[in-house]
Amino acid sequence: MTKTIKNIGVFTSGGDAPGMNASLYAIIKAASLKNITITGIWQGYDGMVDASFTHLHPKNLAPHVHQGGTIIKTSRSPRFLTLKGRIKAAKNLKKAKIDALIAIGGDGTFRGLMALKEICDIPTIGIPGTIDNDMMGTDYTLGFDSAVNTAINAIDNIRDTAESHNRIFLVEVMGRDSGYIAINSGLCTAADGILIPESKKDQVLLLNKLQHFKNRESLIIVVAEGDETGAIVMAEKIKAINKKVDVRITILGHIQRGGNPTAFDRLLGIRLGVAALDEVLKGTTNVMAGLLNNKITFTPFEKVVKQHKVQTELKELVELFSR
């Protein structure tokens, strides 16, 4: 028989992402209306290993819905990667009478929940929270839309100075293994080239175009962090084939992880938060709540692996606009 769930542990893990606070708020608000206690676990898996727990009330979260980051903090926890660390975490959850877990994080976070399952039968549900948008089982991850908008604003600013000097700018955007931020921000800023890890053709197209480039106009090239060469090496390649070009590099970095979440990310966080809560209360376990074709869907963690493929339609757009 499924154990009655009265106390749910909630945590954020991996890279923070705008929309995490909105999602936490939704979970806590919905839980309070069902008389369910929400225990916040500080700093991701580190808080589980250290028994760093706190009671959360909707009033704690409502003033933070519009803010990026995560008020209960996050971590990449090497200790939880060890069996010793996970055994300690499982004991702490039991001692704190936590009956179920909701985790907001990326695919690494869900791998962590699968590892925990081997030593502890607590039900777990995941909410995709990463700016990289690199997960199966959802069209969008929390924070992606906000990160893309941040990158677009930055690239728009760079465009002004690039135009004024007729320079080539290589703008590196985040995405450890994924080109989604580069594709969306590049297309929305009319970039002249978009380099992503999922394509091998992109560099060839760009270098062909730049061979005879005269400094009579500017060019914006958006490069994904996870691209096989990256912005710095690419700048060298460009200078090697065309000595006349004036190239500058801007690495946007963690600026893309912060800032207020967009309306899309706030609403996504709220929808997935409430759906995750309802589903875990039904006794469902080891699934991630996602949004597929604008419908809430639950996908087993085993299938939520890094998504290295980009839709053909988007890839074709990248090639079209890189010519």
Ligand X SMILES: Nc1ncnc2c1ncn2[C@@H]1O[C@H](COP(=O)(O)OP(=O)(O)OP(=O)(O)O)[C@@H](O)[C@H]1O
Active site residues: 132
Q: Which ranges in 71-179 belong to alpha helices (H)?
A: 83-95, 107-117, 144-165
Residue with Cβ nearer ligand X (29 or 86): 86
Residue closer to ligand F6P by CB (options 58, 259) is 259
Which parts of 103-142 interact with ligand X (CB under 6 A)? 105-109, 111-112, 115, 130, 132
Q: How far is the CB of 154 from ligand X (least distance, A)?
A: 20
Q: Give the DSSP per-residue string, 252-300.
A: -GGGGG-SPPPHHHHHHHHHHHHHHHHHHHTT--SEEEEEETTEEEEEE
CA neighbor of 141 nearest in space, from 126, 158, 128: 128
Interface positions, 45-104, toward ligand X (CB under 6 A): 45, 76-77, 80-81
11 binds ligand X (CB under 6 A): no
**Residues 6 or more apart whose Cβ sits within 8 Å of residue 212:** 242
**Tokens standing for 192?**
């002249």
Q: Choose from ligand F6P, ligand X, none: what does 9 bind? Cβ within 5-8 Å by kind.
A: none
> Which residue has its beta carbon closest to ligand F6P?
15
Q: Which residues bind ligand F6P (CB under 6 A)?
A: 14-15, 76, 130-132, 174-176, 225, 257
Buried b (16+ CB within 10 A) or exposed e, 260-291: bbbebbbbbbbbbbbbbbebbbeebbbbbbbb
- Residue 111 binding result from ligand X, ligand F6P, none, given CB thresholds of 5 to 8 Å by partner type: ligand X
64 binds, among ligand X, ligand F6P, none (CB under 5 to 8 A by kind): none
Residues that bind ligand X (CB under 6 A): 13-15, 45, 76-77, 80-81, 105-109, 111-112, 115, 130, 132
